[in-house]
Structure 1
Amino acid sequence: MLDEKKIRDIARQVATANLTSANISSVSSSAAVDSEGHDALRITIVITPGAETKITGDAALDTLVGIKERLRREGEERFPIVEYATQEELEAGGDP
């Protein structure tokens, strides 16, 4: 398993490549459990205000696939659950 910093670095690199750095505010990760009870990773990509209208479905999908592939190549076995949220949504306690 990779450490949290390495996971965040990989997720940020892939997200920036697909979504552009102007749309990304920060990236966080934490341990999670998937719907089948297996260990997973929750990766939250915090987007800048207004970015939700600039990010295409293809770019979001490419980000998800890219993060999953890069983590696997680095030896991470846990499945990444990628979520998007604005800072305001996180502060409001909304589910991203």
Structure 2
Amino acid sequence: MMFWYAHGMSGWGWFGMSVGMVLFWALIITALVLVFRAVNRPHEHAHPHIPAAPTPQQILAERFARGEINEEVYRRRLSALHAGPLTKS
């Protein structure tokens, strides 16, 4: 039984040191797992509080829905948007 009392440490000292070592490594492993998960998490949006800018078609549809423009103007501008940019010759 000389082993249990080496260096002035009792059985409870060895038990406490063993539990402390297990807890230390559990803390290290948990920290590494959390860091790994945080780094590899997919980012949905860089700035979720900033809404996406509406498309020109959406703006035109909103103006038509509010009654700012009539159907003829709406259809003419919508076809112009679908035709693409005007080019100068």
TM-score range, shorter chain: under 0.3
Q: Counting helix residues as a fraction of each chain, which structure ranks higher?
A: 2
Q: Counting strand residues as a fraction of each chain, which structure ranks higher?
A: 1
Q: Which has the larger radius of gyration?
A: 2
Higher relative contact order (CA 8 A, sep 6+): 1
Report the TM-score, using the length of structure 1 for normalisation. 0.24
Report the TM-score, using the length of structure 2 for normalisation. 0.26
